Amino acid sequence: MNKTITVTLNGQIFTLEEEAFDILQVYLDGIKKHFSKNEDKDEIIKDIEASIAEKFIEKISSKKQVVTKTDVEKIISILGEAEEIIEEDKKFQDDLKEETNSQEKNNTIKRLYRDVDDVVIAGVCSGIAAYFGIDPVFVRLIFALSIFFGGFGIIAYIILWIVVPEAKTGVQKLQMQGAEVTLKKIEEVAKEKSAEIRKKVKKEGWANVLLTPINFVSEILRAIINFFRHLFPVLGSIIGFLISMIMILSIVAYSIFSALLIVGKDSGFIRSDVPLDQIISNPSYYLAVISLFLLVVIPLFSILMLGAAMLRRKNVFSFVSSSVMVGLWMVSLVVFSAIAIDVSPRIEDAMKNWQDVEISQMNIDLDNFDRIYISDNFRAEIREAKDFSIIAKGREVDLERLAYEIDRGQLQLYREEDSGICLACFDNSIDFEISAPHINEIVANNTSEVVVYGFNPDTMRIKLNNSSKADVLTNASRVESEVNGASWLSLDGSSKNVEIELSGVSKLNIGDMNLDVLRLDLDGASRAELVGYAENVDLSASGSSKIFAFTMPMKFVSVDASGASKIELDVREKLYTSSSEAASIKYRGSADLEIVNDGETVNIEPMYFNVINGDELDENAKINIETY
């Protein structure tokens, strides 16, 4: 049984055996006596105590809570006795290199810190440079260039600023460069720091002026960082946990994907429109998959380590692990690039042969439908006929993936979801020729195209989504349409009632139709071009949408325009508008104009204008409606 004594060292509490405490006290008294006449004695003693405290932490574990005599003696042997210090007037960096080369591996600890002695903003770049033994200029240049490539470097810099601690003590400055921590080194670091401080005090005034903007920004950012550190002490841990979870899931997902690529190549699980066996041999294929796996996973694992560092609030990077990961990543990049260069000519040849594939035809035996749904980059020509008929034309491989069915009177044509992994699949369009006696609804999705001839139901409904197109010639009494997601509709025929909604940069063309009722609602920078004649018109435009209707004379018109929309009209009797100031309305014709704003009605006398060449107007014929 041994007596123990509790001591405080560098702000931390440790339990020492009594004999260990006596040895340590004698050692520290000798150190203080040795440096008593040194002007930097306080800084040196503080750094020595910090070094001893850090080494005590390394000796303590869940099974061993007490610092023993052996521990203290070993630490003293590493640091050295005060009498062993030789006063020499040498540069710190020369001594550091000589001693680092001769030190034992177990006594050297290299850690990532922010170098606040060589700081522009927070010392992140200089700390990374010291860790890898390179010039800080190169690291700063990389972060500066990252601003022009998505700005990722700024985010990484801020995260490192939060996560990586400052190298405050001499011990930390030595560890930052991987140097052995001894009394002599600690003393020299303290002298170096004092000399640097005196040098900064004597800095010329013009240099301070030049650095003022950088220092100002640095102080603001430092204040923000400190604010979040103190106000949200667990924020870093939460972010670190989220980053870690996301990276773990990403690594697991990509690992499973890569494993499937390796084990499933010859099992039919991996499919390709281009014959892989003719492009790449088995050894090269497996090597490419493995090298690509490392190219993706190593950066993900590095971000995972960063998240772990934020979660634990402790640096988890080491020089050895970082060097190994960088080396593996570079080797993988070279291997994958070499394989890609080797197979690229064969890929080009395979693509040329793929384009020459023969087109096949398939008859689909389905009938009794009056609605059509088409999707997945298909094209269809739909005609009115006495009998049902469906013909599909395309590559054999595309026809094999075609799915078709009748669901409650709706013919559905879409691409079957692929099972397994498709490395080089090209979903080409399939062309359809569809005939039917009656059709009253057409839906086109995902870049599909339809052309419609005929049909005269009471109401024809047309829905277009995701860059789809429709060219419709119909005799339906009424046409209702929704055009979304950069889709395009061209409408013609003898319909009398048309109601269309457009959104998401969609486009509408109405060609030479004689309409009793026209209702248009445009949003999201959509566009409508109108030709023909209309009796009763209700127009709504918002979000920079445009309606061009000088070529469609209208009798009674109601307009609601907002959000920098633009409308051009030819109105013959009555124009009623309640528009915002940002909107622009130009009109011609003999209409009475009525403007409603804030509940008040203003009547304006009819105005007559000269028309040049049928459509072109002189300056007097262009009236901007403004509300206040």
For 526-569, how does the pLDDT look when each residue is reduced to its tens digit (9 = 90+)?
999 999 999 999 999 998 999 999 999 999 999 988 888 999 99
Does a structural domain hold residue 220? yes
Single out the residue in 36, 66, 84 at which a domain terminates. Answer: 84
- Crossing angle of the two packed helices 152-163 and 282-312, in degrees rounded to 10: 50
Same domain, 626 and 500: yes
What's the CATH code of the domain at 378? Answer: 2.160.20.120
pLDDT tens string 258-308: 887 777 666 555 666 665 665 666 678 788 888 999 999 999 998 888 888
Provide the number of structural domains found in the chain. 5
Report the pLDDT value the prediction gives residue 357, as an integer from 0 to 100: 63
Does a structural domain hold residue 512? yes
Report the pLDDT value the prediction gives residue 451, as an integer from 0 to 100: 97
Same domain, 80 and 97: no
Does a structural domain hold residue 511? yes
Single out the residue in 205, 231, 257 at which a domain terminates. Answer: 231
Better pLDDT: 524 or 281: 524
Identify the burial level of 19 via C-beta atoms within 10 angstroms of its C-beta, where 0-12 means exposed, 13-18 middle and 19 or more buried. middle
Single out the residue in 331, 355, 379 at which a domain terminates. Answer: 355
Euclidean distance between CA atoms 520 and 528, whole angstroms:
9
The answer to whether the CB of 615 falls within 8 A of the CB of 569 is: no
Report the pLDDT value the prediction gives residue 172, as an integer from 0 to 100: 67
Better pLDDT: 468 or 78: 468
Same domain, 63 and 99: no
Same domain, 49 and 72: yes
The answer to whether the CB of 445 falls within 8 A of the CB of 424 is: no
Does a structural domain hold residue 216? yes
Same domain, 334 and 374: no
Same domain, 515 and 626: yes
Same domain, 221 and 241: no
Does a structural domain hold residue 571? yes
Does a structural domain hold residue 348? yes
Which of 151, 124, 158 minimizes the C-alpha distance to 139? 124
Global pTM?
0.52
Better pLDDT: 60 or 217: 60
Same domain, 104 and 66: no
What are φ and ψ of residue 62, in 5° steps?
Answer: -65, -25
Side chain identity, residue 197 = I
Same domain, 460 and 533: no
Does a structural domain hold residue 434? yes
Euclidean distance between CA atoms 144 and 153, whole angstroms:
8
Euclidean distance between CA atoms 427 and 433, whole angstroms:
19
When pLDDT is cut at 50, 70 and 90, the band that residue 604 belongs to is very low
Same domain, 190 and 245: no
pLDDT value at 591 more than 90: no
The stretches of 232-318 forming alpha helices (DSSP H) are 235-263, 276-279, 282-312
When pLDDT is cut at 50, 70 and 90, the band that residue 353 belongs to is low
Same domain, 116 and 223: yes
Euclidean distance between CA atoms 381 and 496, whole angstroms:
24
Domain of residue 448, residue span: 364-466
pLDDT value at 1 more than 90: no
Which of 549, 511, 512 minimizes the C-alpha distance to 527? 549
Does a structural domain hold residue 372? yes
Instruction: Return the exposure string of 252-265: e unless at least 16 CB atoms fall within 10 Å of the residue's CB, then b.
Output: eeeeeebebbeeeb
Euclidean distance between CA atoms 238 and 373, whole angstroms:
47
Same domain, 507 and 554: yes
